[in-house]
């Protein structure tokens, strides 16, 4: 009796569900959600249209799955990986790893397709806007805040508000993305993006460096003494 062994190629092959989502993302980006048909999607995947419904209840469910697995959702998922949890006491390494992972994500053509789709469709499909907001504003922000809170409790950074520190960190990275990947005629070369990342990280980490509160108190005390008359 012949024994079938799974080859490395078979093991690495994407599942039908993954192929559906990949082709759907490409189709939605090209034709728009409203202009895309389940028939065309099935043709691209290479399965019968009826077989699509074995995996998803309809087109809206496919779009919801795309939102749940791309963009901010993929960023939030990374924060839950062991490699990030190992950096829970290393704020410098954590911030740099997060930024570099974002550069990789920004450079992925699928990310460009996702942003095109979500910008066009998040206000048109019921539930998509709420799901997008949940992944971006709730899950990712909650996880990021937890990391900065842990850094602060361990005395590794100084911040009066971990949530606002997390938002400040994310805001600077968003502006780098706008400058180097969105607003220009073409994406900036990776070395130029990394240079911008390093410059921003140096500035941001200096703001939250442990001991800043004590340093600020010393500067404030010096300033107050400077304005007082010298004792007789």
How confident is the model over 109-134, as pLDDT tens digits?
777 677 677 766 666 666 666 666 65
Phi-psi bin for 181: left (phi > 0), alpha (psi -120 to 50), beta?
alpha
Q: Which H/E stretch holds residue 62?
A: helix 59-69
Structure confidence by residue, pLDDT tens digits, 4-52: 554 444 444 578 988 998 898 888 888 888 888 999 999 999 999 999 9
Q: Is 203 exposed, middle or buried (0-12, 13-18, 19+ CB in 10 A)?
A: exposed
pLDDT at residue 12, rounded to an integer? 45
Kindly state the average pLDDT of the residues 133-140.
Answer: 68
Q: Among 55, 37, 181, 30, which Cα is nearest to 113's?
A: 30
Q: Among 28, 42, 3, 207, which Cα is nearest to 124's?
A: 28
Structure confidence by residue, pLDDT tens digits, 168-182: 999 999 899 889 988
Q: Which H/E stretch holds residue 51?
A: helix 49-52
**Taking the mean position of all CA atoms in its chain, how far away is CA 126?**
23
What is the reported pTM? 0.66
**DSSP label at 156?**
S
Q: Among 94, 216, 218, 82, which Cα is nearest to 156's?
A: 94
Within a 10 A sphere around the Cβ of 22, how many other Cβ atoms? 16
CA distances from 169 to 118, 190, 200 (A): 23, 20, 9
pLDDT at residue 29, rounded to an integer? 81
The CA R_g of the chain, rounded to the nearest whole Å, is 24
């Amino acid at each position: 009796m012949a024994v079938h062994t799974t080859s490395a190629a078979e093991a690495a092959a994407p599942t039908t569900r993954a192929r559906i989502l990949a082709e759907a993302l490409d189709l939605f980006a090209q034709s728009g959600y409203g202009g895309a048909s389940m028939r065309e999607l099935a043709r691209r995947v290479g399965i019968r249209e009826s077989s699509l419904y074995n995996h998803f209840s309809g087109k809206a469910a496919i779009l919801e799955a795309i939102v749940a697995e791309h963009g901010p959702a993929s960023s939030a998922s990374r924060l839950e990986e062991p490699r990030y949890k190992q950096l829970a006491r290393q704020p410098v390494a954590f911030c740099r790893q997060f930024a570099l992972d974002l550069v990789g994500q920004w450079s992925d053509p699928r990310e460009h397709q996702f942003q095109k789709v979500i910008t066009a469709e998040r206000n048109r499909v019921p539930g998509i806007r709420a799901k997008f907001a949940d992944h971006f504003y709730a899950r990712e922000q909650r996880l990021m805040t937890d990391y900065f809170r842990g850094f602060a409790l361990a005395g590794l950074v100084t911040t009066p508000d971990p949530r606002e520190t997390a938002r400040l960190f994310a805001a600077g990275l968003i502006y780098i993305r706008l400058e180097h990947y969105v607003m220009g005629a073409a994406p900036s070369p990776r070395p130029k993006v990394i240079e911008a990342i390093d410059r921003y990280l140096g500035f941001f980490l200096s703001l939250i460096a442990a001991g800043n509160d004590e340093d600020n108190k010393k500067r404030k005390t010096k300033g107050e003494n400077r304005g007082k008359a010298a004792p007789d």
